[in-house]
């Protein structure tokens, strides 16, 4: 899995927006989603998973939330299969 080509993340306070330049669509991201997408863009999907799990390791049910977040990013066109 990888971020869609050309997606750009811009931080606004503690949240972020992601722009898909091919569609012009803006996606508003909460802090974990913004961090995850930024990590995917910079380091790749697997390392992003590892880093985010490490950051939120003390959060109960985070793996379930992470899976939901990834599905939403796929449905929104921010993440695509390799």
DSSP annotation of 59: S
**Which structural domain range is residue 43 located in?**
2-80
**How many structural domains are present in the chain?**
1
Model confidence at 1, in pLDDT bands (50, 70, 90)? very high
Closest CA to 79 of 27, 30, 31: 27
pLDDT in tens, 4-41: 988 988 888 877 899 888 888 899 998 889 999 999 99
What whole-number distance in Å separates Cα of residue 44 and Cα of residue 81?
Answer: 12
pLDDT in tens, 38-71: 999 999 999 999 999 999 888 888 889 999 999 9
């Amino acid at each position: 899995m990888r971020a869609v080509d050309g997606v750009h993340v811009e931080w606004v306070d503690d949240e972020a927006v992601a722009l898909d330049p091919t569609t012009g669509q803006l996606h508003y991201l909460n802090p974990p989603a913004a961090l995850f997408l930024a990590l995917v863009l910079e380091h790749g999907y697997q390392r992003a998973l590892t880093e985010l799990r490490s950051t939120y390791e003390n959060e109960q049910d985070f793996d379930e939330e992470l899976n939901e977040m990834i599905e939403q990013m796929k449905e929104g066109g921010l993440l695509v299969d390799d």
